[in-house]
Structure 1
Amino acid sequence: MRFMLKPVLLLMTFAFLSGPAFAAGDTAPGREMARQATKGKELWITADHSKFAVLNQQFKSGPEVTKACLTCHTEAGHQFHKTIHWTWLDPKADKELKVGKGGLVLNNFCINIQSNEPRCTSCHAGYGWKNKDFDFKSQEDIDCLVCHEQTGTYKKFPSGAGNPPPPPGKKFGGKFIKSPEWNKVAQSVSRPTRQNCGTCHFFGGGGDGVKHGDLDSSLFKPGKNLDVHMGLDGQNFTCVRCHTTVNHDIAGRIYSTPAATSRKSLLEDDLGAKIMCESCHSAEPHKTELGMKLNDHTDKVACQSCHIPTFARVNPTKMWWDWSKAGKLKNGKPYTVKDDWGKPTYMSKKGDMRWEKNVVPEYYWFNGTIDTITANTVIDPTSTVRVSMPVGNINDKNSRIMPFKVHHGMTPYDKVNKKMVIPHLYGKDKTALWKGFDWTKAVTAGMAYAGLPFSGEVGFVKTEYVFPTTHMVAPKDKAVACEECHSKQGRLEKLNCLYLPGRDSSAVVDAGGWFIVIASAVGVILHALGRFFMKGRKED
């Protein structure tokens, strides 16, 4: 892609590119194959699990159900044990680094699961991960139901280490959560639906839309104006339509591993992961006259940058979390303050928070991988700590300009060792922050549990954490207009590594361009005058 267009072309470029970007034609390569692959609304279900004798016994627990599942699905347990949904560790990273939320990787939300497992693992696809002694080799502790049951009644308990509540149920946060009807849910199993995936992924961070600005409960039943792929009045895709799965390994980005290593379309390879936009739309999706110019962008601009104008368009998402303000009490008791959306802006347990809707993304070069720091990484507390960051640059052929949600915060660190810390947040003991509200005790306990040194001095540092924005794809007539990037103080204002027409200027190049424009105009005028006088002479 050529960014350094001369100013002489600028006027023509803006006239050509005005209006909504990426007005895709209906005849894009690969689209017909995509339609053929998705046009059937009925799935081929070849087994009615309610008729299986092994599922008609009386179950009393999740592991009992899993044991029954494994009598037929003999390889499923071995397959699932290799996936990040089970390990919560990056399978491609050095094991000593413990990269993953099950290890020492940090975020600026609830920071890390070490010593906080019963609360964090309520979204683990297993039963009983309540401490570091969890048996990761146990197949019976795999939770098949959370991904496959179809009654919609199966609920894990928020502090139950992945377990549903015991009969008849328990209260949490003022809500009563029923114990599962084990036989009913076991006999309902089928392919995962959006409901299955969203139960955890829409509520990451402990609440609706907390973490991912492009994933929240509005996607359970969206309209196509929110997401053209998942909209009930659009394509009505389930998550596994794009996040294709082989041997329980689900396509998607994993820390240092890109979502896909090649940008193949269905026309080239129908067996590869369908996670990339090019899988269905190809690298040249635009077929109108304007589209020909827009196709020049696809080697440097991700489709999402133009087709996701904002995220959190229905429900708000958390954009700021200041842990340093946690611990304030009213009349000796914890309290909460909420905004007009009913979202907490202050909690004694968690500090200050800010929520936003219709958020314009930030843009970075991205090759599909994310760098993260761990509790062993030495930081510079005098500047903002990038807890996670996109990897990529303008010279990397696999990099594209990609939209991100960037979550900002004030997060605890060790003032002496200059490393981020792991606090013990959840628990009934007085060292837990949410019980005793003492940061020094909480961090001392959390770091000891993780086997890491701590100086005893807690400070707070500004942090950033990034999420690639890939959902909430808007209809083509709502795409980002060209002038939103090709302008002063536009969306790409911070990407100063390239010359962007409409945003940037060069005195020398501009002078040369205007000289050509003026010279061309003078030439046209002189030519017209010459023709006029020559015509007069011929008539004489």
Structure 2
Amino acid sequence: MITRTQRPGLGRLAAAGLTAMSLAVLVWTTPAAAADVMAQLPSATTATASKTTTADHSKFKELEGPFATGPEVTEACLECHTEAADHIQQTTHWTWAFDHPVTGQDLGKRNVVNNFCVATATNWPRCTSCHIGYGWTDDKTFDFAAERNVDCLVCHDTTGNYKKFPTGAGHPTYEPKEFPPKSGNVWQPPDLVKIAQNVGPTSRETCGACHFYGGGGDAVKHGDLDSTMARPSKALDVHMAPDGLNFQCSTCHTTGSHEVTGSRYVTKAVDRLGIDVPGHTDDTRATCESCHAMTPHEEAKLNDHTDVVACTTCHVPEFARGGKATKMWWDWSTAGKLNEEGKPFTVKEGADVIYDTKKGDFLWEANVVPEYRWFNGAIEYTLIDDTIDPSGVVPINTLGGGPDDPDSRIWPFKVMRGKQPYDSVNNVLAVPHLFGKDESAFWGAGKFDWIKAIEAGMQARNVDFSGEYDFVETTYHWPIVHMVAPKDEALECEACHAENGRLANLGGFYMPGRGDFGWLNTLGWSLAGLTLIGVIVHALLRVVGASRRK
């Protein structure tokens, strides 16, 4: 086998040779011994208070209620779980802030910019409906140290009846309330006593209550996470299917002191520690290798690919394939149009909104073939104080890695594209104030005035605004790691080893069958032909020699 240090010039995939095998699914084509072990593992069960905990919370006096608000429930929980709130308040889930240990960038939802709803600043009550707390209505006044502000129920509800109100800054509704306005859809207050008495472990449903709906709706953001993943078929996800292994999110995203592993800010592009052994590795199963090791295939040629190809490159042939399309394009520059009656309007195509006065134009796609990039786990973000070049496409996040980097693998990505506002004098991305009823809110009394909205948003982020704006095209890369397909739906050889294959646009290396170097392919086939001729001639000489000896 050709090692990395022996490959410069021909590239990292030359080892695949002309006999490259199909890149089959890593997760399920494991060696026989590993397969036996996996088969003996008990399936994870859906979180239920009665079957998965050692305590019957319905018997606890502290939870008899009545509870008027969510924070009152939290106070009751902390009577026994005395350190839980302190744990939560140290996590990125709580702070929405992350200091990157390598790049030094201040990340987290409080700091990054995206090309969906752009930013959280000044839009807190809407954005924090997915915060694991109560009452974050303003970044300057919210008490991050108050333990009663932690929301225990959003992660530990097992009834399926606990829902945060979309504009409630993390609270559920405590009285019947219509949302969206004038829709006729009335949200009812949850039975907080019943929910508190039936808490249990986290589940796909509780994690998905936020993560399936990131970006403002079902399937909008990630591409490989949507409501179909709550109870996926085996064809959609072999790990999480209820009639299969029935993994919950925490099966892989393990926790310690409520800190969840598997951050997208610090991604492991490759896990050389291999199978997770308590006390000897990093105690997380948020990588494929932590269960399946670095060389999981029975066929050696397939294992030859694992030093250059990420597991999900082969195992997730398409994303958004559960029946929900994902948003692939968002154009804010067209927002603000009114109909003939001078009112906001929406346009739908099937189940998907393709234009909204409040947000602009959208494009949705289902069964999407990922885009492939070299990736070593390093990601650098374009932040609000970074100067951009508006003459081209602005990458909101830039991936590290390349074909000559031994820590890089070919990874699959959803690439979200769109147009969003920027300060056309200072050349920085703009943060608009979207949500609210005040005079500067783009969706409120501001009546779709970009100048007012951007001025308020930039002021909240302490960034100067010139008073002039325009729109710039941006991209955002989202790693694809869920929706792992069955092994018989894995990519075959020709998916990549072909002139117009999936990796046709990924440069910097040689790959057999792609037509990179015609002379090299000719030489290879010529050598193979000469070898075959030599074998035939040698065989004939042996036959002739044997006949003469007789």
TM normalised by structure 1 equals 0.91
Match of residue 133 from structure 2? 126
How far residue 420 of structure 1 moved from its aligned partner, in angstroms, is 0.3
Task: State the shift of 1:202 in Å.
Answer: 0.3
Shift of 1:250: 0.7
Matched, 1:452 2:463: yes
Q: Residue 207 of structure 1 aligns with which residue? A: 217
Asked if 1:499 corresponds to 2:499, the answer is no
Amino acid in the other structure paired with 1:388:
N
What does residue range 428-507 of structure 1 map to in structure 2 within 5 Å? Answer: 428-435=437-444, 436-507=447-518
1:407 to 395, 416, 420: 416
2:23–2:490 contact (8 Å) kept in structure 1: no
Write the deviation string for residues 113-159 of structure 1: whole angstroms up to 9, x where unpaired. Answer: 10111111110000011112211111110001100011111111111
1:113 pairs with 2:120: yes
CA distance change for structure 1 residues 40 and 131 in 2, over 3 Å: closer, same or farther? Answer: closer
The 1:39/1:334 distance shift into structure 2, 3 A limit, reads closer
Within-5 A mapping of 1:186-205: 186-205=196-215
What is the aligned counterpart of 2:147 among 120, 139, 143?
139
Residue 282 of structure 1: how far off its partner (Å): 1.4
Q: Does 1:365 align with 2:374?
A: yes
* Structure 1 residue 295: Cα displacement: 0.8
Provide the residue aligned with 2:403 in structure 1. 394
1:156 is matched with: 164
Matched to 2:42, the amino acid is T
Deviation at 1:393, TM superposition (A): 2.4
The answer as to whether partners of 1:84 and 1:91 remain within 8 angstroms in 2 is: no
Paired with 1:421 and 1:274, the residues of 2 have a C-alpha distance of 38
Alpha-carbon contact 1:80-1:86 (below 8 Å) kept: yes
2:333 is aligned, of 324, 328, 337, to: 324
TM-aligned CA distance change 1:71 to 1:37, over 3 Å = farther
- Residues 1:513 and 1:271: Cα distance change in structure 2 (over 3 Å): closer
**Matches of 2:295 and 2:499, distance apart in 1:** 28
Alignment of 1:10-89 (within 5 A): 17=21, 24-25=28-29, 27-28=31-32, 30-39=34-43, 41=45, 44-89=52-97
Q: 2:259 matched to 1:255?
A: no
Aligned CA distance change for structure 1 residues 297 and 20 (closer, same or farther; 3 Å): closer
Shift of the 454–28 alpha-carbon distance from structure 1 to 2, 3 Å rule, reads farther
In 1, are the aligned partners of 2:173 and 2:189 still within 8 Å (CA)? yes
Residue of structure 2 in register with 1:167 after alignment: 175
After superposition, the Cα gap between the structure-2 partners of 1:286 and 1:257, relative to the gap in structure 1 and judged at 3 Å, is closer
| Separation in structure 1 between the aligned mates of residue 230 and residue 402 of structure 2, nearest angstrom | 35
- Inter-CA distance 535–145: structure 2 relative to 1 (3 Å threshold): closer
Q: 2:291 aligns to what?
A: 280
CA distance in 2 between counterparts of 1:119 and 1:19 reads: 43
Q: 1:40 Cα shift?
A: 6.6
Change (3 A) 1:297 1:514: closer
Report the number of matched residues. Answer: 533
Q: Deviations over 1:152-190 (max 9, x none)?
A: 111111111111112234433522111121111111111
Q: How far, CA to CA, are the matches of 1:352 and 1:40 in structure 2?
A: 41
State whether structure 2 residue 249 is matched by structure 1 residue 239: yes
What is the Cα deviation at residue 509 of structure 1? 3.0
- Structure 2 gap segments, 5+ residues each: none
Deviations 1:224-270 (A, max 9, x none): 01000011221111111111111100111241454886533035747
What is the CA distance between 1:311 and its match in structure 2?
0.4
Moved more, 405-414 or 254-263: 254-263
Q: Which moved more, 1:256-265 or 1:370-379?
A: 256-265
Residues 345-364 of structure 1: CA distance to partner in whole angstroms, max 9, x if unpaired? 01111111000000000111
| 8 A contact 2:394–2:475 mirrored in 1 | yes
The structural deviation recorded for 1:496 is 0.6
SS of 2:148's partner is coil
Cα pair distance change 1:137/1:486, threshold 3 Å: same
**CA-to-aligned-CA distance 1:431-458 (integer Å, 9 cap, x gap):** 2112311111111111112211011111
Distance in 2 between residues matched to 1:203 and 1:371, nearest whole Å: 25
Counterpart secondary structure, 1:86: helix
Q: Secondary structure at the match of 2:470?
A: strand
The 1:237–1:257 alpha-carbon spacing in structure 2 relative to 1, beyond 3 Å, is closer
User: Matches of 1:213 and 1:163 in 2, distance apart?
Assistant: 27
Contact 2:164–2:172, Cα closer than 8 Å, also in 1: yes
Preserved contact between residue 396 and residue 474 of structure 2 (Cα < 8 Å): yes
Find the counterpart in structure 1 of residue 232 from structure 2: 222
Partner letter of residue 109 of structure 1? F
Q: Deviations over 1:356-411 (max 9, x none)?
A: 00000011122234221111011111111110132222333332211111100011
Cα 1:473/1:15, change in 2 over 3 Å: same
d(CA) in 1 for partners of 2:465, 2:136: 25
Distance 1:164 1:119, change over 3 A: same
Contact 1:119-1:161 within 8 A present in 2 as well: yes
- More divergent stretch after superposition (439-448 vs 169-178): 169-178
Identify which range, 386-395 or 217-226, moves more after superposition: 386-395
2:23, 2:314 within 8 Å by CA — same for their partners in 1?
no
C-alpha distance in structure 2 between counterparts of 1:339 and 1:306, whole Å = 32
Most deviating of 291-300 and 212-221: 291-300
Q: Could you say what the CA RMSD is over the residues aligned between the two structures, in angstroms?
A: 2.8
| CA distance 1:456–1:48, change in 2 (3 Å) | same
1:25, 1:286 within 8 Å by CA — same for their partners in 2? yes
Query: Which residue identity is paired with 1:374?
Result: L
Instruction: Output the CA distance in 1 between the equivalents of 2:522 and 2:223.
Output: 44
CA contact (8 A) 1:119 1:159 kept: yes
Deviation at 1:284, TM superposition (A): 1.7
The letter for the 1-side match of 2:505 is: K
Q: Is the 2:392–2:473 contact (alpha carbons within 8 Å) kept by the matching residues of 1?
A: yes
* Letter paired with 2:242: L
2:426 pairs with 1:417: yes
Question: Which runs of 5 or more structure 1 residues have no equivalent in the other structure?
Answer: none
The 1-side partners of 2:267 and 2:538 are apart by 62
**What is the deviation of 1:281?**
1.2
Aligned residue in 1 for 2:309: 301
Q: AA paired with 1:284?
A: T
Q: Structure 2 vs 1, CA of residues 466 and 518 (structure 1 numbering), >3 Å: closer, same or farther? A: closer
> Are the equivalent residues in 1 in contact too, given 2:98–2:108 (CA < 8 A)?
yes
- Give the Cα separation in 1 of the matches to 2:269 and 2:72: 34
Moved more, 170-179 or 468-477: 170-179
3-state SS, counterpart of residue 147 of structure 2: coil
Question: Do 1:29 and 1:282's aligned partners in 2 also have CA atoms closer than 8 Å?
Answer: no
Gap change, CA 1:208 and 1:245, over 3 Å in 2: same
8 Å CA contact 1:21, 1:482 repeated in 2: no
Q: Deviations over 1:262-298 (max 9, x none)?
A: 53303574771011111211112111xxx22101111
Query: Counterpart amino acid of 2:62?
Result: V
Task: Give secondary structure in 1 for the equivalent of 2:231.
Answer: coil
* 1:375 paired residue number: 384
Residues 244 and 251, structure 1, Cα contact 8 Å, conserved in 2: yes
